[in-house]
């Protein structure tokens, strides 16, 4: 939903069904890979199938939310676990009419401060609606604010105001 708002698709982007956990749900674990696997997880309105697999250097996800009346969201991602965040994600969303909405993005060396805000790196988001309109947005951090004063450059001239001579001419 946040990606759709960034691309200007929010007013038409279908709202996903609300996911709630049923009281008798179980999470199946694959002990050999430490992956959390979900099979028909959630209440009757929206079911979750897929897995989350953390490894030493990255986290992989492949989640499918199946809702009523042909609503479906397929989310797949891969992100680094330590240091700067690098990775990709994509989400396909089908509305009640069977139309497909696509959002995908990539993060490249995103550094996150203690307050959760990015302080360096690149974020790129692409999106497409069922009519075939494609949007793209790219942001490089830190973002310069308009009207922000730039630091003054050091004066590299000679102290008498003359240019520094280089060699004999």
Distance (Å, whole) CA 67 – CA 80: 30
Mean pLDDT of 14-35: 64
Residues 6+ apart with CB under 8 A from 107: 79, 85, 86, 87, 88, 121, 122, 123
Residues 6+ apart with CB under 8 A from 1: 10, 13, 15, 16
Highest-pLDDT range among 33-42, 53-62, 91-100 = 53-62
The string over 19-44, giving b where at least 16 C-beta atoms fall within 10 Å of a residue's C-beta and e elsewhere, is eeeeeeeeeeeeeeeebbebeebbee
> Is the model's pLDDT at 50 over the cut of 90?
no
Per-residue pLDDT, 88 = 94
> Is the model's pLDDT at 116 over the cut of 90?
no
Whether 87 is covered by a domain: the verdict is: yes
Whether 149 is covered by a domain: the verdict is: no
> Is the model's pLDDT at 169 over the cut of 60?
no
Q: Which domain holds residue 133?
A: 2-141
Residue closest to 66 by CA, chosen among 88, 50, 90, 89: 50
Whether 157 is covered by a domain: the verdict is: no
Whether 56 is covered by a domain: the verdict is: yes
> Is the model's pLDDT at 46 over the cut of 80?
no
Whether 154 is covered by a domain: the verdict is: no
> Is the model's pLDDT at 154 over the cut of 90?
no
Name the percent of the chain lying above pLDDT 70: 66
- Left if phi > 0, otherwise alpha if psi is -120 to 50, otherwise beta: which for 7? alpha
SS3 for 27-74 is CEEECCCCEEEEEEECCCCEEEEEEEEECCCEEEEEEEEEECCCCEEE
- Provide the domain count of the chain: 1
Name the percent of the chain lying above pLDDT 90: 12
In the predicted model, what is the mean pLDDT of the chain? Answer: 77
pLDDT-based confidence at 93, cuts 50/70/90?
confident
Whether 155 is covered by a domain: the verdict is: no
Whether 44 is covered by a domain: the verdict is: yes
Per-residue pLDDT, 152 = 72
Return the higher-pLDDT residue of 28 and 133.
Answer: 133
Whether 146 is covered by a domain: the verdict is: no
- Structure letter (DSSP) for residue 82: S
């Amino acid at each position: 939903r946040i990606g759709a708002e960034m691309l200007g698709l929010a007013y038409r982007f279908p709202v996903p069904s609300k996911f709630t956990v049923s009281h008798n749900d179980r999470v199946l674990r694959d002990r050999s890979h430490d992956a959390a696997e979900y099979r028909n997880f959630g209440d009757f309105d929206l079911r979750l199938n897929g897995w989350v697999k953390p490894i030493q250097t990255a986290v992989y996800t492949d989640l499918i939310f199946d809702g009523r009346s042909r609503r479906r969201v397929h989310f797949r991602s891969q992100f680094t676990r330590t240091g700067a965040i690098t990775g990709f994600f994509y989400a396909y969303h089908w509305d009640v009419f069977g139309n497909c909405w696509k959002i995908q993005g990539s993060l490249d060396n995103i550094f996150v401060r203690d307050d959760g805000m990015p302080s360096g790196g690149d974020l790129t988001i692409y999106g497409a609606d069922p009519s075939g309109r494609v949007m793209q947005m790219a942001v490089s951090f830190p973002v310069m604010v308009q009207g922000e004063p730039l630091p003054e450059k050091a004066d590299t001239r000679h102290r008498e105001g003359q240019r520094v001579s280089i060699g004999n001419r």
